[in-house]
Amino acid sequence: MSAMTGTRVIHKNILIVVILSLLSLMLFSETLLADEKKALVADLPQEEALKLGERMYREGILPSGQPMQALVQGDVPVDGTMFSCMSCHLRSGLGSIEGRVITYPVDGNTLYRPMTKAWQLRWISGSRFARSTTGEIRSAYNDETLAFSIRGGLNPDGKTLNYVMPRYPLEDRDMEIMVYYLKNLSVKPSPGIVDNKIHFATIITEEGNPADRETMLRQLNTMINASKAGRSSKMAQQALASDPEALMNKGYINVSLSVWELKGPQEGWRKQLEAYYANDPVFALTGGIVNGDWRPIHQFCEENRIPCIFPLTDLPVVSDTDWYTLYFSKGFYQEGEAAAKYINSVNENAGDIPVIQVFRKNSAGSAAAKGFEETWINITGKAVENHMLSHTGPLTIKYLRGLAASNDRAVIMLWIDPSDLASLAALAGMYGKPNRIFLSYGLLKKDIYAIPENIRKLVYITYPYRLPDDFLKYEPLIKRQLPGQVQKDAAPEAQARMITLYSTVPTAIFMMKGYFVRDRFLEVLDMMLPMKTMNDIAPDTPLYPRISFGPGQRYVSKGCYIVQLSAGPVPKIINVSDWVIP
């Protein structure tokens, strides 16, 4: 072969290689474009589509910002914000059972699988003895039949859905987003669920009463050990061996607990929380006791969608919209609320009474003053005269006399410290003395018994717990669960709160029926009304006379007594009002 021929062959081969390379590049590019197109939902990135779908599902707002339209009773148009999907199927999409009203789940796992009679019985009853039930209630949905169902109210088999289910005539792009959201709703367990273990954390700080911390940690560890013992029991092992869905049916799951200790000032807590969570993802926070405001932890949980159940704090975040932290009460703020409500209830023209608030420049006093002021303005439309004390020394007799003398017959709210009580006696014999003086048991605790006897008839006290004689009935329960030294040193409020928490969390885990999704955890707490513990004892005990859960309510004790002290050297608490609910 000549050199010229060889050169032509080489050039030809190079040309072939180039052409093949170009073809491969074109195919690769087409694949990338196809993958990129496949990753889009309604021409949007998947993450953005999920956010828009969540808004449609929860608020009834279209991606355009306009309200969704819903059709009820066949063809009656209504604003979709009145009938959002979440209002019936809940945030998790996992449905609810209220009396005889059953709202089935619309999560991705449930919709895209056939619904069998056995599943239905297990879901409603939680019984694992339902496998003998046979038959299908409906076929599995796919994207097309789900869209058709949302628009037309028919299931995949063409059967009409319950008449209470609204129909949503969505346009194709909006429907694509909605279907994509439902397809992904609650399909995976939340962070903190690993190998059939649900992982919690609790939060403490260096400061505060060591006995209170010990009480909390002891009760939490007892709860953890009880869950381990329950899972290792013969009954649990038999259930797990014989029934692959035993976790859903019986709640046999391990529970573990980490302790996150926050150090230094509150300004540095956020970074510490982020570091803990990055190294140790948890399903939820439970309990917790810190020296100061709970706000940094509350905000961290809201932004990361982490449930926080019953922290031991009287300085919660008071909000009508936040979701992820469930508190025992509004704390000091709630005492202020109740005082305003009580004054209004016992005075025909409460708005004409001058009201003065004196409070310390700290979180506790400010919270009580804020609770009173906001409630008072809402009730009467009248302003409150506020005096914030910046000095650290106790209130002086001169200051109190001057305050009372310049405001004849006023109601004075004193959100003060125990060291301020001694000077109250000077008000008793004054001409033009105050109409009433209000103090806070939450701020003063047992020091209220030091109120001078000559002023007691004028003094009213906000009391946010069971009355003492009623609380005594629960001492045997506390003694059984807590050792003597802890009982002696820990605050009774901390002891009682932990007993309620101890009975609440295991019940909620059981009620999730294996759907370990954070929003579901909070939903079952909402649905526990009247809530029962694992021993079928109503958990309105032992600290609060009434606790109640309801959808979206974040504070389970919602009231306060107004009390006074009896005369004599050993005064007793006497209630002068029923349970005042703000």
- State the helix-helix crossing angle for 210-232 and 492-511, rounded to 10 degrees: 30
Residue 211 CB coordination number (10 Å): 17
Q: What is the pLDDT of residues 475-534, one digit of tens each?
A: 887 777 766 656 567 788 888 898 888 888 888 888 887 889 999 999 988 887 544 443
What dotted CATH number matches 332-463+562-575?
3.40.50.2300
pLDDT of residue 31: 43
Least confident of 316-325, 366-375, 472-481: 472-481
Radius of gyration of the chain from its Cα atoms, rounded to whole angstroms: 31
Rounded distance between C-alpha atoms, residue 141 and residue 386, angstroms: 61
Backbone angle region of 433, left / alpha / beta, with phi > 0 → left and psi within -120 to 50 → alpha:
beta
Tell me what the mean pLDDT of segment 157-169 comes to. Answer: 90
Least confident of 249-258, 429-438, 526-535: 526-535
Rounded distance between C-alpha atoms, residue 467 and residue 563, angstroms: 9
Tell me what the mean pLDDT of segment 276-300 comes to. Answer: 96
Q: Model-level pTM?
A: 0.86
Rounded distance between C-alpha atoms, residue 580 and residue 560, angstroms: 5
Residue pair 350/343 in contact (Cβ under 8 Å)? The answer is yes
Residue 85 reports pLDDT greater than 80 = yes
Q: What is the pLDDT of residues 536-554, one digit of tens each?
A: 444 446 899 888 776 778 9
3-state secondary structure of 249: helix
**HSE toward the beta carbon, residue 277, CA cutoff 13 A:** 18
Asked if the bond preceding 354 is cis, omega within 30° of 0, the reply is no
pLDDT of residue 39: 81
Rounded distance between C-alpha atoms, residue 380 and residue 515, angstroms: 47
Residue 236 reports pLDDT greater than 60 = no
In order, the DSSP letters of 163-218 are TTS-B----HHHHHHHHHHHHHTT-SPPTTEETTEEEEEEEEESSS-HHHHHHHHH
pLDDT of residue 410: 84
Residue 93 reports pLDDT greater than 90 = yes
User: What percent of the chain has a predicted confidence (pLDDT) above 70?
Assistant: 82
Per-residue confidence band for 4, with pLDDT thresholds at 50, 70 and 90: very low
Q: Alpha carbon of 533 to those of 89, 530, 538, 539: distances in Å?
A: 25, 10, 6, 6
3-state secondary structure of 268: helix
Task: List phi, psi (to 5°) of 432.
Answer: 70, 35
pLDDT of residue 376: 96
Least confident of 165-179, 292-306, 508-522: 508-522
Residue pair 47/39 in contact (Cβ under 8 Å)? The answer is no
pLDDT of residue 34: 44
Q: What is the pLDDT of residues 113-148, one digit of tens each?
A: 999 988 888 777 765 555 556 788 999 999 999 999
Residue pair 285/299 in contact (Cβ under 8 Å)? The answer is no
Tell me what the mean pLDDT of segment 99-106 comes to. Answer: 85
Least confident of 146-155, 224-233, 350-359, 376-385: 224-233
Tell me what the mean pLDDT of segment 33-43 comes to. Answer: 66
3-state secondary structure of 371: helix
Per-residue confidence band for 32, with pLDDT thresholds at 50, 70 and 90: very low
pLDDT of residue 66: 94
Residue pair 565/452 in contact (Cβ under 8 Å)? The answer is no
Residue 419 reports pLDDT greater than 90 = no
Q: What is the pLDDT of residues 44-76, one digit of tens each?
A: 999 999 999 999 999 999 999 999 998 887 678
pLDDT of residue 540: 46
Per-residue confidence band for 409, with pLDDT thresholds at 50, 70 and 90: confident
pLDDT of residue 546: 83
Task: List phi, psi (to 5°) of 225.
Answer: -65, -35
pLDDT of residue 36: 45
Write 477-482 long-range contacts (CB < 8 A, 24+).
Answer: 477/541, 477/542, 478/542, 481/219, 481/222, 482/215, 482/218, 482/219
DSSP E strands in 464-571: the ranges are: 561-565
Tell me what the mean pLDDT of segment 308-335 comes to. Answer: 95
Burial tier of 530 (Cβ tally within 10 Å: 0-12, 13-18, 19+)? exposed
**Top CATH class, 193-331+470-551:** alpha beta
The chain-wide mean pLDDT, for the chain, equals: 84
**HSE toward the beta carbon, residue 552, CA cutoff 13 A:** 7
Task: List phi, psi (to 5°) of 122.
Answer: -65, -40
Residue pair 453/476 in contact (Cβ under 8 Å)? The answer is no
Longest pairwise C-alpha distance within the chain: 130
What's the helix, strand, coil split of the chain in %, to 5?
Answer: 50, 15, 35
